Amino acid sequence: MARMKLGFFGDVVGKPGRRAVVDHLPDLKARLRLDFVVVNAENAAGGFGITEAVAEELFSAGADCLTLGNHAWDQREALTYIQREDRMLRVSNYPVGVNAPGRGAHLYVTPSGHRVGVISVMGRVFMDALDDPFQAVERELDAMPLGSTVDALIVDVHCEATSEKMAMGHFCDGRASLVIGTHTHVPTADTQILPEGTAYQTDAGMCGDYLSVVGMNKDISLQRFTTRLPGPRNEPAKGEGTMCGVVVETDDATGAAVRIDPIRIGGRLAETSPA
C-alpha cells in the first residue's frame, strides 16, 4: 500500500518556538520522509501574530503551509502579506459579507504530485464570535472531496474548548485525513484514528518554552492572575523550546489515516517521535 506522510506542528510561540522549528524540522522532515508539513504560526512573531520575515524563516525550515488563528492580524503587515502568499491560511469561518484577506482553505501539490488540502477554522466556544465552524468546514470538505479531488486533507481546528475540537473530529471522520486541535498550547494524549479513518488529536501542543504559561513569561502571567492589575506587556518566555505535533501516514488510494504518532522534541517535555 502506497503511503504519504504528513506532519503537523502546533502553535509556534515567539523566538523559542521558531528556534525549535528551525533546529529540528529539517532533520525530522528528512528522517521521516515527510511529504507535507503544516505549522500553526499565529503566535510566532513575539507571541502575537506573524510577519513576512518570520513566515519566511518557517518556510525555509521546511513548512509547506502556515495556519493562523485568533491572533492572525496582531501584526498588521499580515493583512497584506497573506494576500500574496498562498502558503499561509487564516481561518475560514469569517461572517458572510466580511471580505477577510487571504483564504481559509487551499489545495497544495507536493513535489511528488500528491494533492493535499488544508482547512483552517476557529471554534466559537470561549472564542471570538465567528460564523458556524461546522458549516464552514462542510463547505470546504465538499469542495475538496478526500480520495478524488485531494489525496490527503488536514483540518486545523483552532479552539479553546476540547469538546468543540472533539466534535469537529467526529464531524469530519471519513472525510479528512487529520483533524488536529490548536490554540491551547498543551499536547494532549488522545492521539487516535477514528472509526472511519480520520487521525485525531485534541491539541497538537505548542512549539515554545514550556517553563512558562502557555509559552509566555510566567512571572508576568502570575502577576496578572494574582493581582488582577495591569502590568508589563506580556512576552514569550525565553528558554529552550520544545517542538510538538504529530506525524500521520495516509493510504494513497483513499486518503484515510493508517497511523498517527505524537512528536515532542527538545526542551523540557519527555521526547517522543516515530522510530
pLDDT of residue 141: 98
pLDDT of residue 275: 80
The residue extents of the domains of the chain are: 3-265
Evaluated on CA atoms 188, 262, 112, 63, the torsion sign reads: positive
- Output the CA–CA distances (angstroms, integers) from residue 270 to 15, 189, 212, 243, in the order listed: 21, 13, 16, 11
pLDDT of residue 129: 84
Domain boundaries 3-265, CATH class: alpha beta
- Say if residues 241 and 51 touch (Cβ distance below 8 Å): no
pLDDT of residue 97: 84
Catalytic (active-site) positions:
71
Q: Kindly give the confidence (pLDDT) of every residue in the chain, 275 residues in length, as a single tens digit, with 9 standing for 90 and above.
A: 679 999 999 999 999 999 999 999 999 999 999 999 999 999 999 999 999 999 999 999 999 999 999 999 999 999 999 999 999 999 999 998 899 999 999 999 999 999 999 999 999 999 988 999 999 999 999 999 999 999 999 999 999 999 999 999 999 999 999 999 999 999 999 999 999 999 999 999 999 999 999 999 999 999 999 999 988 999 999 999 999 999 999 999 999 999 999 999 999 999 999 98
pLDDT of residue 1: 60
All residues at 6 or more sequence positions from 260 whose CB lies less than 8 Å from its CB, including other chains:
178, 191, 192, 193, 199, 200, 201, 246, 247, 248, 249
pLDDT of residue 68: 98
The DSSP secondary structure of 260-271, one letter per residue, reads EEEEEESSSSPP
